[in-house]
Structure 1
């Protein structure tokens, strides 16, 4: 297939409630959608979500990357199932992973359409549904308990709790209070979003030995691999790397240096599906559990993440709850690409990522 045209547009996404972490607060965002048209008439759809505090990518930078850097390189190029063209594109600039992810998703969408398959099947998956957790954003203890109870009642079987802004005592008390409120019936996945020092992390985790916790995600600064390793070595609670792992090389170093117990793959960090698959294969080879997560994203990005997770088949944890956060008033299933049920995300059998052009 030969690339004939590349177009972009902003897609406004409104959330049904503010979402707050140790790094930012989000209620409304614009995602950047790219449409790549091929000479055979197929159109591939991809998206990038601006998440400056994690990827460094702003809305303006994503638009500039696609229009002035990547589009001129891609025009007239031939794309096949090997997707080696993406490796060449990656060499144009280091980082800038969100714009790369948008292009990567669009190419995979087009390849799946050319094969007359939904993307999850093109990637080797068979199931159409995922069981996801739901993320409780930072708030007062009362608000977090209320939100947690509400999500459990609505059908979620695991919760991801955002922390990272409080004192040691406050962080410890929040989880204890939520656990007591839920009578210990739900396992927690705790995300500090780089909010603690290594010493604080070890002290906090020591206080949660009697609480059901699947893992603690990114307790220390993303660049502090030694700190991450220290926490991993000094607690029995599994430690997951998120902001520390963007690329295959990051994952390789984390695994070789035994810095963590698990890895979170997000397409906006990895630069798309191709690099995400490489990271997943590496983790599988070393028996490291993987979670597929996302930023606060739009319809195309979340559909692609769901198809990617289904295509990898042996993903241990799923953190793709953003579709439950969208304000979907007047938004059809064809526009969303996924169907939501309590605690469950379902992709359709539409071709590619299932997003209407």
Structure 2
């Protein structure tokens, strides 16, 4: 059960249409496939999606961090020594996606070795999650049309609406159009990706007070310490910390400072080991959790639902699990399918997935 090799393979798959939001735009999934090999011939896999406009990582930096920094520190450790691995990775500052992919690939390899799913290793609460869908920037009519298509095709009834452009002339109009077009039974929440000021966010929330929002997420800059606390005091719905709460220490600070009242967990930035810590903090402090999306492909989505289904708290709300639908292709041998608004944990040991080697050869960019 010892780790013998760690691979970092860059690849690129275009999206059918770009996802636009306040902190950037993504039109190609330029991700890194991380594979952990063991002395028993088991291979664990995970995906690392770089988000340079949020965490400072690029595809090239993830490859370099995994290959040059992390692989030498984890080769020779046993799959069960996850805390040893976490401590060694923590010596390097930042690099959340690179660290998380190494961590999750180790968990996948452990599950395959023990013939047990990662969900069962983590907690085994349920075997599926409700799905929410992120709606990127567009005109109101186009966003309503997309939401209707997603609802009618996949049974999804929860939507996260990207805001952060003009709060009064456009963003609030989009959310109002979605509520009027989709009806009262649809769950809506907004995510500003730090695009508004605190005062703009307060005014926008006031204008949307009659729209029955589920949450508000990262509406103003993460470093606006006083503005965020003031905004939360004005907010009538749970305020989700996302980019401001990458590590367990960040989560503790944001919640205890009154700068947030809920937390987004993204396995792409905190793996399974650190995500456990965030979950336990949230559970202990009595705050809600949403399983977030780092514009993941199918492999990243599998990891998110594997973790989210493991616990009662993370399974209570719809997870952001559907944006892989916008990718033109993927690496899995058996594509994911959303049925009745739910995504099931993949059966089988570990994460329950296999990589299509022909597709990996086609899309990898290191040849």
TM bracket, shorter-chain basis: over 0.9
Could you tell me how far apart the structure 1 residues matched to 2:268 and 2:230 are?
27
1:42–1:287 distance in 2 versus 1, CA, 3 Å: same
2:132/2:160 contact within 8 Å kept: yes
Could you tell me how far apart the structure 2 residues matched to 1:44 and 1:253 are?
33
1:31/1:297 contact within 8 Å kept: no
Once the two structures are TM-superposed, the CA of residue 331 in structure 1 deviates from its matched residue by 5.8
Which stretch of structure 1 is more off in the superposition, 318-327 or 299-308? 318-327
| Equivalent in 319, 338, 341 of residue 340 of structure 1 | 338
Once the two structures are TM-superposed, the CA of residue 329 in structure 1 deviates from its matched residue by 7.8
Could you tell me how far apart the structure 1 residues matched to 2:326 and 2:124 are?
26
1:210–1:62 distance in 2 versus 1, CA, 3 Å: same
1:257–1:329 distance in 2 versus 1, CA, 3 Å: closer
Could you tell me how far apart the structure 2 residues matched to 1:44 and 1:184 are?
43
Residue in structure 2 matched with residue 353 of structure 1 by the alignment = 351
Could you tell me how far apart the structure 2 residues matched to 1:143 and 1:303 are?
28
Kindly report which structure 2 residues correspond to 1:148-167, keeping only aligned pairs within 5 A, or say none: 148-154=147-153, 155-167=155-167
Unaligned runs of 5+ in 2: 356-367
RMSD: 1.8
**Structure 1 counterpart SS, 2:210:** coil
Could you tell me how far apart the structure 1 residues matched to 2:7 and 2:158 are?
39
Which stretch of structure 1 is more off in the superposition, 149-158 or 52-61? 149-158
Residue in structure 1 matched with residue 50 of structure 2 by the alignment = 50
Once the two structures are TM-superposed, the CA of residue 84 in structure 1 deviates from its matched residue by 1.1
Residue in structure 1 matched with residue 279 of structure 2 by the alignment = 280
1:33/1:48 contact within 8 Å kept: yes
Could you tell me how far apart the structure 2 residues matched to 1:298 and 1:319 are?
12
Q: Are positions 1:326 and 2:327 aligned together? A: yes
1:15–1:128 distance in 2 versus 1, CA, 3 Å: farther
Kindly report which structure 2 residues correspond to 1:95-114, keeping only aligned pairs within 5 A, or say none: 95-114=94-113
Could you tell me how far apart the structure 1 residues matched to 2:330 and 2:83 are?
40
Which stretch of structure 1 is more off in the superposition, 61-70 or 340-349? 340-349
Could you tell me how far apart the structure 1 residues matched to 2:101 and 2:330 are?
25
Once the two structures are TM-superposed, the CA of residue 342 in structure 1 deviates from its matched residue by 4.4
Kindly report which structure 2 residues correspond to 1:85-124, keeping only aligned pairs within 5 A, or say none: 85-124=84-123
Could you tell me how far apart the structure 1 residues matched to 2:257 and 2:223 are?
14
Q: Under a length normalisation based on structure 2, what TM-score does the superposition of the two structures give?
A: 0.91
Once the two structures are TM-superposed, the CA of residue 269 in structure 1 deviates from its matched residue by 2.5
**Structure 2 counterpart SS, 1:4:** strand
Runs of 4+ in 1 over 6 A off after TM superposition: none
1:238–1:314 distance in 2 versus 1, CA, 3 Å: closer
1:332–1:340 distance in 2 versus 1, CA, 3 Å: farther
1:194/1:222 contact within 8 Å kept: yes
1:134/1:343 contact within 8 Å kept: no
Could you tell me how far apart the structure 1 residues matched to 2:151 and 2:107 are?
35
Once the two structures are TM-superposed, the CA of residue 106 in structure 1 deviates from its matched residue by 0.6
- Deviation by residue 1:209-241 (Cα, 9 ceiling, x = unmatched): 111210111011122233222111012122111
Residue in structure 2 matched with residue 213 of structure 1 by the alignment = 213
1:307–1:128 distance in 2 versus 1, CA, 3 Å: same
1:208–1:108 distance in 2 versus 1, CA, 3 Å: same
1:186/1:212 contact within 8 Å kept: no
Residue in structure 1 matched with residue 257 of structure 2 by the alignment = 257
Residue in structure 2 matched with residue 244 of structure 1 by the alignment = 244
Once the two structures are TM-superposed, the CA of residue 355 in structure 1 deviates from its matched residue by 2.1
Could you tell me how far apart the structure 2 residues matched to 1:42 and 1:183 are?
49
1:112/1:119 contact within 8 Å kept: yes
Could you tell me how far apart the structure 1 residues matched to 2:41 and 2:265 are?
32
Could you tell me how far apart the structure 1 residues matched to 2:207 and 2:219 are?
15
Could you tell me how far apart the structure 2 residues matched to 1:286 and 1:102 are?
27
Once the two structures are TM-superposed, the CA of residue 12 in structure 1 deviates from its matched residue by 2.9
Q: Are positions 1:2 and 2:15 aligned together? A: no
Q: Under a length normalisation based on structure 1, what TM-score does the superposition of the two structures give?
A: 0.93
**Structure 2 counterpart SS, 1:297:** coil
